Chains A and B, each alone.
Chain A
């Protein structure tokens, strides 16, 4: 045993400790500061943005802002119709994208045979996630607004948004389903369970936290999207609340976009207040996603 150790020790050349160490240490410090710099840069930009928005927006952020319709006078302008419009749109987008997205993910992960065809579907879903949102707007305009004659309605907007976030939801749900340990599925099958029983009773409960997290994050992307809705013709000035799925509507980012486009400076401050509301909504949704992830994180 000792002899072996001796030979192995001898077979390694003695390293030049001093010179190489100092070089490596300099490099180490250099890269560390480089990475800190990269992080600091984006944090700084975010901070400047937030400070600007908050200083401009806070004076306009009061109860009236939430209860008023948009107005020609900046002091009276409010976000009510846009806020309610966003909620209406989410009420369409959330269930539609959840059902379609999770359904697709279950099919691809649990039922579909792994062949060229499913590989093609898989590749296309990943590609769709990268398609510019304006293209989804065009698609929505053609299919929902014109072909299906839904008009510039909440329904058409919500469905267009579902299409937009569907790829994200599918991919997130697939990952959550794939993370369910195979032994659990085996145990279920070995007791004579059918595929659906196994999926419903074992796979879905275990994958649900991941699926929900993915859904919420995708929805928070939909809340901030403007382009596809402008494309399908959501209104920019709405002084009424949507009454049903076929009502016309506007949403928060469009309202904000509209305000920032006004020449009067006061409206830019109103826009800042709107941005604050939107940011808080996004923050809330993301917190819920993180909370769900932490609460239901299971060890297998």
Chain B
């Protein structure tokens, strides 16, 4: 674990060991519920969650790189730790996810500023170490850029769907990818969110603490707002239609195309017996092999894993994508025609 100073903990509170921090500061959780001087911090923690639930970034008391008042530092950390306690007590996963994401984006701002800080080498090094320790991305400075090995880059960039993150749209040289401070930090945003999320999920849930009830109840009510309903049109996406057309014509659909079609239909709830006849027209049709492979995909034989339909990105690589405007930026054919209500 990194050795952190007070203002680093305020910037990256998720790096601290919560229990230890409270102990070091000489407080217990119960005190926050009862002590009138400390109760205000629960409100602050609640606000921090509220802002996150709204999709915004919590505006902290930290001003730039420095804090206006020494006292603000621990308050900043406490509100984070108490927010986690409130979230755990409410048990609302949608709120935890939103909070983790917002906190990740807040930390991202500081990481970016620290990375770009040319005047203070130690800030620079800390940011580089946080990224390496937490996400195993080896960042090196090279002029105005940060360079990371292509393999490290790919492990993170595959989570992005925007084309500018594709390796082909990056400055690649000598086995490394060149990134700006902003891009370096953006690269690990999701993992930062996942890291904070898993820290919260894995934290012990305390029993209800007197003085915390009100805020917890309000959070439970709040989370109900985020339930969404979806409806589908039932129509097949163009890639699936195309594959079916090819088979109907008796032409050859490559193995990857057959995999897409079968895994799509099986995921939509069709049975192996319903899917199998589709392949009858294939030039190399063999009933035994078809059933074997379909059962394998469905998870009824072999490893027991049910295979899911490949992503749009993968289908593009395999030249199986025939996207139309109706695809509407979906990332997997299974999402086609789904409308949020």
Verify that A and B bind, or say they do not: no
